[in-house]
């Protein structure tokens, strides 16, 4: 094996395996960090996942982690000790920039860490880089006037989706071991789906948030990784109450480290989630994944959901126009010339919506959608469905370039490409995206595993089984060609 290949293999090492090797003193955190940095320096110009590189201090922290594993100074290793972790830029780090990809916020410096950053650092994780998002994490693709276009490592003509696109692209490119994400409409699951990685939308309150959006019940921070076990590792660090977030749940919930097989489980399969139109390759990959579970002894039954586009539109319109869009409009007032086209389009659309759809309207629609799901999956352990209706988004796409007309009103086509937001509406449900295959577009496809409210362990149980039944590990034959 040539040195360059050895470095690449090390950069793609599973986080859980890295911790085992650290503990056995067969690998140094410094060696792993150097491999990840070397990989980043090689591929970052093509991918553009990072907004800030903290490589020098990361190497210093890796040396400190090495001393812990060697027993020096009386300090013991912590749960993430020495792992290179990429942090989504919107997750504030005290003393560093906090722009959310907007020129409006240029020069803004964070005064305290976001809760998830505190958790990562307290567990010994090393934040070696920060990752790109669209402006204000507002779209399902990742590019901005501030940071340029972030590209999917599998096919650079495509986006790694959004808004946690930089985190997903970094994982797929082998430039981080774990990454943080957030999800208000699919922002962990969509990027994971199109990059062949794992993204977890925790149920509302499981992971503490920051600021007023912590009270947005669509929202949730979560873990991103290349394997299910690695996602669980990070999730167990991120979960638990924080006094800065009144909605965060106590006591801390800890995922198991081992799971039974899926034999005997009852699993529902829904392809269209009501009225979505699904690309044939997405459907084929979803059905193949479900069949693998059936072959392993699970009872998989196809169901239909009574959901309508109208209810999905109404719930999103009233919710986002009242909360998220109103907040962005307040922050950016009088400075529209600095905004990205897609941000302006979103704000204008939501301003028009506010005159026609109330927050109460959205709550009525949410209740219908939530009850419809609960009744449809009663008696099942979990639900399987696609993460996206189409294989992906082209790099540089503009929100609102093409419109879909519903009830005489123009609606962004993007709404019907992402199949994730129904489970932000059903916000207490844990949802794990895992790979379901590849498409002819040259990028991976994803599957959502949806659990009953707060039943996190079940989605990880099914995800763990699929990882063994249909392996997607980033071995040399299954890596992006960069």
Q: Annotated catalytic sites, by residue? A: 88, 163, 187
Which residue's entry shows tokens 């090393």? 126
CB atoms within 10 A of CB 302: 11
Mark 419-432 as b/e (b = at least 16 C-beta within 10 Å).
Answer: bbbbbbbbbbbbbb
What residues does 301 pair with on adjacent strands?
A: 268
Do residues 429 and 380 touch, judged by C-beta distance below 8 A? no
Which of 422, 430, 417, 461 minimizes the C-alpha distance to 200? 430
> What letter does residue 107 receive in the DSSP assignment?
T
d(CA 110, CA 244): 15
Residue with tokens 């040399």: 476
Q: In the block, which residue shows the tokens 């925790």?
A: 202
Let me know: does 178 contact 224? Beta carbons within 8 Å. Answer: yes
Could you tell me which residues come within 8 angstroms of residue 320 by beta carbon, excluding any fewer than 6 positions away?
A: 350
- Cα end-to-end span (Å), the chain: 18
Q: CA dist 383 to 268, 329, 377, Å? A: 5, 36, 7
Counting other chains too, the contacts that 16-23 makes at CB distance below 8 Å and 24 or more residues apart are 16/227, 16/229, 16/230, 16/233, 18/82, 18/83, 18/177, 19/77, 19/80, 19/81, 19/82, 19/83, 19/233, 22/65, 22/69, 22/77, 22/81, 22/82, 23/69, 23/77
Written as six digits, the tokens of 445 are 């496809």
How many beta carbons lie within 10 A of that of residue 317, not counting itself?
25
Torsion angles phi and psi, residue 198, rounded to 5: -115, 130
Q: Which of 47, 42, 40, 41 is nearest to 150 (CA)?
A: 47
Distance CA 358, CA 379 (A): 34
Check: CB of residue 195 under 8 Å from CB of residue 152: yes
Number of Cβ atoms within 10 Å of the Cβ of 44: 18
Say if residue 281 is exposed, middle or buried (CB neighbours under 10 Å; 0-12, 13-18, 19+).
middle
């Amino acid at each position: 094996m040539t040195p360059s290949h050895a470095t690449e293999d090390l950069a793609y090492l599973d986080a859980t395996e890295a911790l085992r090797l650290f503990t056995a003193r067969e690998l140094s955190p410094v060696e792993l960090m150097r491999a990840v940095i070397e990989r980043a320096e090689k591929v970052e110009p093509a991918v553009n996942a990072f907004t800030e590189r903290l490589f020098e201090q990361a190497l210093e922290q890796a040396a400190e982690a090495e001393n812990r594993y060697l027993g020096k100074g009386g300090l013991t290793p912590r749960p993430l000790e020495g792992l290179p972790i990429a942090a989504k830029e919107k997750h504030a780090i005290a003393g560093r920039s906090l722009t959310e990809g907007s020129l409006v916020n240029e020069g803004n410096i964070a005064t305290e860490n976001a809760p998830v950053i505190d958790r990562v650092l307290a567990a010994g994780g090393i934040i070696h880089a920060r990752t790109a998002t669209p402006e204000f994490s507002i779209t399902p693709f990742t590019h901005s006037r501030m940071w340029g276009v972030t590209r999917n490592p599998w096919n650079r003509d495509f986006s790694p989706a959004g808004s946690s696109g930089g985190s997903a692209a970094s994982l797929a490119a082998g430039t981080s071991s774990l990454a943080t994400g957030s999800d208000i409409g699919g922002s962990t699951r969509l990027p994971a789906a199109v990059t062949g990685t794992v993204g977890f939308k925790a149920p509302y309150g499981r992971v503490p948030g920051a600021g007023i959006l912590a009270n947005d019940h669509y929202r949730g921070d979560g873990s991103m990784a290349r394997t299910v076990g690695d996602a669980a590792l990070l999730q167990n660090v991120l979960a638990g109450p924080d006094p800065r977030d009144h909605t965060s749940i106590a006591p801390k919930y800890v995922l198991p480290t081992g799971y039974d097989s899926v034999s005997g489980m009852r699993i529902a399969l829904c392809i269209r989630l009501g009225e979505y139109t699904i690309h044939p390759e997405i459907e084929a990959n979803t059905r193949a994944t479900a069949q693998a579970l059936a072959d392993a002894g699970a009872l998989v039954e196809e169901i239909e959901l009574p959901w309508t586009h109208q209810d999905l539109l109404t719930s999103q319109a009233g919710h986002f126009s009242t909360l998220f869009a109103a907040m962005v409009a307040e922050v950016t007032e009088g400075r529209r010339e600095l905004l990205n086209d897609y941000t302006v389009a979103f704000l204008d659309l939501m301003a028009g919506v506010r005159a026609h759809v109330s927050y109460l309207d959205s709550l009525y629609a949410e209740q219908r959608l939530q009850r419809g799901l609960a009744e449809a999956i009663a008696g099942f352990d979990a639900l399987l469905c696609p993460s996206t209706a189409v294989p992906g988004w082209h790099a540089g796409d503009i929100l609102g370039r093409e419109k879909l007309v519903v009830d005489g009103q123009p609606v962004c086509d993007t709404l019907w490409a992402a199949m994730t937001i129904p489970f932000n509406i059903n916000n207490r449900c844990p949802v794990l995206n895992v790979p379901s295959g590849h498409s002819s577009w040259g990028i991976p496809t994803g599957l959502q595993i949806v659990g009953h409210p707060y039943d996190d362990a079940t989605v990880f149980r099914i995800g763990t089984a699929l990882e063994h039944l249909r392996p997607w590990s980033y071995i040399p034959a299954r890596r992006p060609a960069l």
